[in-house]
Amino acid sequence: MSNDDRKTGGRRAPFLRGTPVGRDHDREPDVSRVIALIDMNAFFAQVEQICNPSLRGKPLLVGGDPKKRSIVAAASYEAKACGVRSGMSYYEAKKLCPDAIAIEGDSRKYLDYCYRIVDIFREFTDVVEAFSIDEAFLDLTNVQRLFGTPERICGCIKERLVEDLGLTCSVGIGPNKLVAKMASNMQKPDGLTRIWPEELPHILWPFPVEELTGVGRRMKRRLARMGISTIGDLGRFDPAVLRGQFGVYGELLHQWANGIDESPVDPTCFQTVKSVGHSYTLPRDIDDTETARWFIFWLSDRVCRRMRRDNYVGRTITLTVRNSDFLSFTRSLTLPEHTSSVHTLRDRAMLLYRRNVPPGMKVRLLGVSFSHLKKETPEQMELFSNERQRRAVDAAVDAVKDKYGDSAITFATLIGRPRGMIRRKIGCFLTSSEKGKSDSPLARPPL
Amino acid sequence: MIQQVGESIPVLARFRDGRFEPRKFLWGGGVRIVERVTGRWSEHDGQYKIYHFAVMTDTGSCCELSLHTRHMVWLLDRVLAAGG
């Protein structure tokens, strides 16, 4: 077995075996893997249009408070037709689409709808992996005898989503997660696309290489220098050369371009928390350390509250800063011991801030996070230490918050908040591996 | 077109089949009749729960109401006027 074959388990892309090309949707239930990716189209905008029918058919921008500077978290397809994309500032979006209606999103609303969507998926298969708040992989391999072909199952799911929630989605079906994801992007909105293994070269290979999951702007430039501009170019390229250029990642890229992806649909993968963080776009740029300290304390309090609630302690602290030119950087440090102390997080994050933010730099966004997490285990503590007192205070504060809500009690320092600087809701970022926190759909027990 | 309100309001609600939903409410000196519940969601606030409803009223506006079970108070959170 060659080195390549060892790394791919001896498997090659099925279409390279010379299988005849063609479509046959009436064939017998397939015994090989069948994966579906269901993508809720313009999810936040759709939910707002359901709740307020007068918004239907209109260009809609959903994000932070439109009266303050915020970014677009989701745009309706009517707004997308004008060139609006998620992540743009409201200002940019309004320039492209002056008639667009901007409304403040409500993450609680979207999360609740997400729970109900996942509940519908679980009526058809228990192997559901939430990829993000609006996308999920479903493993349909073992449920075809119960519910019929993958197209039929996904058709039923689409009907249920419309009937029960009024939502449309795009579905991609393929032999693995990679192909399902790419298939879901082919018909938007409200599409259903299946790619058979033998169709992969005809369908995927003509696409630009940046359409391949895992190829970003920098990788695209590096591949272009090697004469690779399409997925087909990458799939036909010598994997040894790719490995020489990009290491193991080059080999993976070659496999992905050939439609090979053996990663399982893992219903538990998001229950493994790797980091916990919060970030906040400030209503106006700040350049003074005291205000930054207030926000870092405020964010640290929220991060540590979640850490304690889920019984985690962390070692690595990361500070994220975005300046007024939208340039972002992160700086990290690792502690000698794991902790969930808000004071440690705040103080170390401030240390990073002082070391890395030059005086006078206008700061637009701040974020703090803990990573290198582990579950807190009972350990012998010193009887008369500050740590023991701190934990007792934390436990009492958490008990009050558990009963009366997170706003019931806070640090005295955080009561005198900077004037006009706090919105009602806090931005929260989830790392790809952190989406299984307790309010994630997949943190709920399966039906 | 979006008015943040946040006022406590009297609401007449119907409880049926294990669910409840607002039917009428008093705001701005008049009774608003709920013609349709267009959306519903909920969240936890400590050990209590907040139930949210998006409703279309007889005046053609979309309103978001919430019931806070801690104080058993209905709030009119925001009014999204028709038309844009």
Q: What is the per-residue DSSP string for A71-138?
A: BEEEE-HHHHTTT--TT-BHHHHHHH-TT-EEEE--HHHHHHHHHHHHHHHHTT-S-EEEEETTEEEE
Sign, CA dihedral A89-A95-A96-A101, equals positive
Residues A253 and A308 both lie in one domain: no
Residue with tokens 């979207």: A110
Angstrom CA distances, A285 to A13, A104, A325, A359, A360, stand at 51, 20, 11, 13, 11
In a domain, A361, yes or no: yes
Nearest Cβ partner of A53 from B2, B47, B56? B56
Q: What is the ipTM of this complex?
A: 0.85
Are A54 and B62 in contact (CB < 8 Å)? yes
A26 is a domain residue: no
Higher-pLDDT residue of A247 and A5 is A247
A230 and A155: one domain? no
> For residue A358, what is the domain's CATH number?
3.30.1490.100
Q: A363-371 and A312-323: which strand pairing?
A: antiparallel
User: Which residues span the domain enclosing A253?
Assistant: 205-257
Residue A248 has pLDDT above 80, yes or no: yes
Q: Residue A9 has what pLDDT?
A: 36
The CATH number of residue A75's host domain is 3.40.1170.60
User: Per the CB < 8 Å rule, is A51 touching B38?
Assistant: yes
Asked about A135 being catalytic, the answer comes back as: yes
A287 and A422 together in one domain: yes
Q: Are residues A155 and A223 in the same domain?
A: no
In a domain, A5, yes or no: no
Interface of A with B in 121-180 (CB under 8 A): none
Coil vs helix vs strand at A51: helix
Mean pLDDT of A341-354: 93
A340 and A249 within one domain: no
In a shared domain, residues A287 and A226: no
Residue type, A426: I
Q: Are residues A291 and A317 in the same domain?
A: yes
Give chain A's mean pLDDT.
82
Q: Using a CB–CB cutoff of 8 Å, tell me whether A113 touches chain B.
A: yes
Nearest CA in chain B to A409: B46
**A316 has which bridge partners?**
A334, A371
Q: Please give the Cα distance from A430 to A132 (Å, whole number).
A: 9
- 3 state DSSP class of A19: coil
User: Does A386 share its domain with A243?
Assistant: no
Distance CA A174, CA A35 (A): 5
Q: Which residues of B fall below an 8 Å CB-CB distance to A?
A: 1-2, 38-39, 41-43, 45-48, 52, 54, 56, 60, 62, 64, 70, 80, 82-84
My answer on whether A253 and A343 are in the same domain is: no
Residue A158 resides in a domain: yes
- My answer on whether A235 and A170 are in the same domain is no
Helix (H, G, I), strand (E, B) or coil at B73: strand
Which of B1, B46, B62 is closest, CB to CB, to A404?
B46
Torsion of Cα atoms, B57 then B63 then B64 then B69, to 10°: -50
pLDDT for A444: 36
Q: Are residues A292 and A359 in the same domain?
A: yes
- pLDDT, tens digit (0-9, with 9 covering 90-100), for A36-95: 999 999 999 999 999 998 899 999 999 888 777 778 889 999 999 999 988 888 889 999
Integer CA distances (angstroms), A374 to A213, A214, A340, A347, A394, in order: 30, 28, 10, 21, 18
| Average pLDDT of the segment spanning B2-29 | 92
Total domains present in chain A: 3
Q: Are A72 and A118 in contact (CB under 8 A)?
A: no
Summarize pLDDT for A150-163 with one digit per residue, the tens: 999 999 999 999 99
Residue A280 located in a structural domain: yes
| Domain co-membership, A104 together with A240 | no
Is residue A356 pLDDT above 80, yes or no? yes
pLDDT digits (tens, 9 = 90+) for A405-437: 887 888 887 776 665 555 444 333 333 333 333
C-alpha–C-alpha distance, residues A400 and A409, integer Å: 7
A22 in any annotated domain: no
| Chain A closest-CA separation from residue B31 CA (Å) | 20
When mean pLDDT is compared over A13-22, A110-119, A389-398, the highest value belongs to A110-119
Instruction: With residue A253 as reference, give the H or E element that holds it.
Output: helix A248-257
Cα dihedral angle (A45, A50, A55, A59), rounded to 10 degrees? 30
By the 8 A CB rule, do A310 and A438 touch? yes
Residue B77 in tokens: 């959170």
Q: At what angle do helices A342-356 and A289-309 cross, to 10 degrees?
A: 140
| Cα distance between residue A338 and residue A311, in whole Å | 12
Q: How far, in Å, CA of A100 to CA of A51, rounded? A: 18
- At position B72, the amino acid (one-letter code) is M
| Cα distance between residue A109 and residue B42, in whole Å | 7
Structure tokens at A355: 């070391």
Q: Does any domain span residue A441?
A: no
What CATH number corresponds to the domain at position A244?
1.10.150.20
Instruction: Tell me if A29 is assigned to some domain.
Output: no
Q: What is the pLDDT of residue A208?
A: 92
Q: A125 φ, ψ to 5°?
A: -155, 145
